[in-house]
Every structure is written in structure tokens, then in C-alpha cells.
A and B are shown apart, each in its own frame.
Chain A
Amino acid sequence: MSNNKLECLSVSKLYEKNGNKIWALKNLNLEVKEGEFLAIVGPSGCGKSTLLKLMASLERPTEGKILLDGKELRDPGPERAMVFQYFSLFPWCTVLENVEFGLKMLNVEEDERRERALHYIKLVGLEGFEDYYPRQLSGGMKQRVALARALAVNPEVLLMDEPFGSLDAQTRNFLQAELLKIWEEEKKTIVFVTHSIIEAVYLGDRVVLMTSRPGRVKEVFEIDIERPRDKGSSEFSRVRSEILSSLKKEVLKTISSEYSLDLKEIAEMIR
């Protein structure tokens, strides 16, 4: 028995729009280990978000399968809770009601529901904001509510889709550190999609680099830097530039396919 929590076995995803067939993912293989913090980076449009939706069973793979603890996944479930880039809080619910939402769907008793929701609201540092509506909160606070909402259902895997992508740099740095703290406390498996290599290297046990569309795993980097990681250290920079140079090639491929330019031409242009 392996210690793989999630496994993607030659997963492909085909989208058809107005008669055009686009392979978002093609033969993607990936293992996520139990308790691991896995970061995924790749050029834009490489299918990172699609992969996350497939892992959450919010969409079905066209080919291949995804296993959780060795069992094939079919339907969405709160054991794989997702955090979205634009928070996706329910605007008609207060902070407390948002965090309670998943527990309500699980038919958890009201007292226990409240208790667990309050625990996670406190964990993400939003004590005192229970009765606020999402519109009254800043972006960073909204994303903490979303995190609390996902954690409250006690998921085995946390799927995070560029959760800090729309936040300002300071909030982002702060929440990255908070997330690591929570991860260490709660011992969840986390799959974290980002377009920031710095973020990926700062957070991940491993960083998966995806190819340009159709997305596959191009390279997997083990990040052996001890936590808390210093984004300014030379070791950090070395790992970062290693991933960056590999990513650059993929970005160039995306650009060349989008603008039908020759790779060499682009290389000249951006030099």
C-alpha cells in the first residue's frame, strides 16, 4: 500500500466549444502523498484549474481516472474541500453561516455546527466578524472565511485554486505564512495551484511544473529547504530560477502556439 492520498492516472480532459475540440489535459499522471503540501505551477491556460476541478469531481475526466486512497472518484464531496481564487462566498450568508454551510449540508447538529464553525473562524483570525456579510470584508478576510469554510468540513484534502492570486502582496505573504501554520496544525493534504513560482517554492514540499496546453506534468521539484523559508536566501533563489527556466520554455511554447510565431523568433524578441 502506497502512501498516496490522491492519484491521477493518465487523466485527459477534452473541452468542446462551438465545435472546437481542445484538450486541456492529456495523459496527466500525478501522485499526491498523504499529508503533503503540493504546489502546482504552469503557464496560464495549462489546465491547472481544470486539474483541481477534476480532483474535486466538479468535472469528470474524459479519459483516465483519479483515485482517493486507491478508490476511484465519481462525485464531489466535502472530503476534498476547495478554496477558489475569487473566494466564492455566499453573499446572502454571514461569515458564520458561510463557515457553517458545509456542516449544514452534512446534517451536523446545530450546536456542534456552531462550535466547529467558531473554532475555525478563530483559527483564521476572524473572531468578532461572525455576523458580518462578505461585502463588508476585505479580499484577504474573504479568503480566510473561504479557508475556514473549507476546513470546517474536516476535509482530507484541501484543493486551493490560486487562492491568494487576487490579493495584494502584503496580505498574500501574511496568508501564506498563516496557511503553513494551519497546515502544520491540521495535518491536511494540500494541493495548491498558483502562477507564482515564489509562492510555490515558499509553500510546497514539492512543486509540480505543468506543460503548456494540453497540460501534463513536465517536471517535479522536491523542495528541501527547511521551513520557515526565507524568500531572500540564495538557496531559495537557486530553486526558484531552476523552476523558472523550465517554466520559461513552456511559456514560450504557449505564446508561439497562440500567436503562431517561431520559437526562435520569440526568444529573440524577449532577449
Chain B
Amino acid sequence: MNARTIFVFLVFFASWELISRSLGNPIFPPPSKVFLALFDLMLPRNLGFLSAPVESGKLVPSLLNTLERVLMGFSLGSLAGFSLGILNFRFESLEKTIDPIVKILHPIPGVSWIPISFLAFGESDLAVVFPVVIATFFPMLVNTTSGMKSVEEDLILAARNLGAKGIRFYSHVLIPATLPFVISGLRISWSYSWRTSIAAEMVLSLAKGGGLGMLHLTSMYHLDVASAMAIMLTIGVTGMVLDHLVLGYLERRTLEKWEG
């Protein structure tokens, strides 16, 4: 974190604090209250910094619930999208056949699948996992497919000329050559699936207990806006950490060395 970033954060929170205190409206709590609520949510029950009796101590278990669901959906969806992308390359007729369907399904947001998912899976975790799978699958499929198509013809010829064939042609040439597209596909998919899982948890009641989405909504029901904002902050920071630190790290490690 450099000096500029720190400065920006300071200014941001200071002005928020000032404006909020001068307005004195409970629907717009100052950051000091939001951070206290965050501690209250994180720490074990009834430590009670603030009046958040219902949700205190629930942040970590909710976060873990959400992460479990989103990571399951994300892995399944991206693996499926990636695999079908490879099949699309291998069988050109397959791509041509499914392309019109993909083009229609791709723009439908993952959240649109939540009602059907609820009817199909009820209170099981799968009700969240399913729309996440959909949200992940299409960007991954589209990116992998176009990545495979954009591999330079001569690179493929050079590999075949040097005896690359069968499964090793894919593992040693085509997949590494497509990696930049695959990673950017993963990052898009991640942001979609994170949003989708939060949205799904807000509207579904789940047997295993709610996640961040449900916790967020409950705080709002109790007019505990500070807690709600603390949860929003958690959603933002977790999404950012996984995108920027995990996938971004992967991107830097694999691509920067050979793309420059």
C-alpha cells in the first residue's frame, strides 16, 4: 500500500465521518460506528461494543458458509466452462451447434436462475451453488473458446511439426497458449459468482444457515445500518482479496514472465 492509497483512504473515511455526524441520520452511520459494528460481528457473541444483539459473532461463520458455497460453484462452473471450451476447439461443429444457445444464455445473469434454483433445490446449499455455477460457466466458456481460436496458427504448426499430438498437444501447447484468456476468464467468472452468491443468500433461507447475504439482510431488518455496512465492507474486501491477491497473483506469476 503506497502513500497515495493511504491518503485516499484517510480522506474518504474522514469526510464520511464528518458528513455523517453533521447529518445525524441513523440510516447513514459514520465509519467509526461501522468499524465498531464490524468488531462486534467478528468477535464472539455478546461482547457488545454496540447494539447489535442479533448478529454479533456471526460474521465469521457466515463468511465461511458463503465461501464454501461460492468456491464450490466457482470451481464446478469454471471447470465445466473450460472443458467445454476445449471441446469446442477440438470439434468445430460442436461450437457451431451450441453457439446460438450460448449467445442467448450468456447474457442472462446468474441471479435470474435463483427462483428456479429455489424450486429445484429448496433449502439445500445447492440452491446457491447452482446459480453460481451458471454465472461462472458462461464467461469461462466464452473466454476459453475465443482464447483457443486466437492461438497463432504457426505456433500450432510448430508444435505439431515437433511431434506434439494427442493429449500432450493440449497439455503442452494449447492450454499454456490459452492461459492469458483462461485467467482473465477466471477473474470475470469470480466477480460474477461472488455477486451471485451474495444475492442468492439474501433471498434464500438455507438449512445449513445463512451466509453474508442473509446476515446483511437481517441487519437491515433490525435497522442496524452500521452492521449492514460492515457486512458490505466484508463482502467488498473478501471479493477483492480473492480476485486481486489470489487470481491476480496467478496472473502475474504466469503471464508477466512471458508476456512482458
Cβ-based interface call for B161 (8 A): yes
In the complex, the answer to whether A88 meets B162 with C-beta atoms within 8 Å is: no
In the complex, the answer to whether A82 meets B158 with C-beta atoms within 8 Å is: yes
For the complex, count residues of B whose C-beta is within 8 A of A.
Answer: 22
In the complex, the answer to whether A105 meets B162 with C-beta atoms within 8 Å is: yes
Q: Which residue of B lies closest to A82 (CB)?
A: B161
Interface membership of chain A positions 133-170, coded 1 if the CB is closer than 8 angstroms to chain B and 0 otherwise: 11110000000000001000100000000000000000
Cβ-based interface call for A78 (8 A): yes
Q: In the assembled complex, how far is the CB of residue A151 from the closest CB belonging to chain B, in whole angstroms?
A: 12
Write out the residue numbers on chain B whose beta carbons fall within 8 Å of the beta carbon of A56: 157, 161
In the complex, the answer to whether A133 meets B258 with C-beta atoms within 8 Å is: yes
In the complex, the answer to whether A81 meets B162 with C-beta atoms within 8 Å is: yes
In chain B between 130 and 166, which residues have their CB closer than 8 angstroms to a CB of chain A?
A: 152, 154-155, 157-164
Of the stretches B9-17, B104-112, B119-127, B168-176, the one at the interface is: B168-176
Q: Known contacts A90-B173, A92-B177: does B164 contact A105 (CB below 8 Å)? A: yes
In the complex, the answer to whether A105 meets B152 with C-beta atoms within 8 Å is: no
- Cα(A121)–Cα(B162), bound, Å: 17
Q: In the assembled complex, how far is the CB of residue B134 from the closest CB belonging to chain A, in whole angstroms?
A: 31
Cβ-based interface call for A70 (8 A): no
In the complex, the answer to whether A92 meets B176 with C-beta atoms within 8 Å is: yes
In the complex, the answer to whether B163 meets A78 with C-beta atoms within 8 Å is: yes
In the complex, the answer to whether A88 meets B172 with C-beta atoms within 8 Å is: no
Among B157, B168, B179, point to the contact of A88 (Cβ < 8 A): B157
Q: In the assembled complex, how far is the CB of residue B203 from the closest CB belonging to chain A, in whole angstroms?
A: 43
Q: In the assembled complex, how far is the CB of residue A76 from the closest CB belonging to chain B, in whole angstroms?
A: 5
In the complex, the answer to whether A90 meets B161 with C-beta atoms within 8 Å is: no
Write out the residue numbers on chain A whose beta carbons fall within 8 Å of the beta carbon of B179: 92
Q: In the assembled complex, how far is the CB of residue A130 from the closest CB belonging to chain B, in whole angstroms?
A: 15
- Cα(A90)–Cα(B158), bound, Å: 9
Among B163, B173, B176, point to the contact of A77 (Cβ < 8 A): B163
Q: Which residue of B lies closest to A85 (CB)?
A: B154
Q: In the assembled complex, how far is the CB of residue B192 from the closest CB belonging to chain A, in whole angstroms?
A: 27
Cβ-based interface call for B92 (8 A): no
> Which 6 residue pairs are nearest across A and B when measured between Cβ atoms?
A102-B162, A105-B163, A88-B158, A88-B154, A91-B258, A135-B260
Q: List 17 A-B contacts (CB under 8 A).
A: A53-B157, A77-B163, A78-B161, A82-B157, A84-B157, A86-B154, A88-B157, A90-B177, A91-B259, A92-B176, A92-B177, A92-B254, A92-B258, A101-B164, A104-B172, A105-B162, A153-B162
Partner-B contacts on A (CB < 8 A): 53, 56, 58, 76-78, 80-82, 84, 86, 88, 90-93, 101-102, 104-106, 133-136, 149, 153
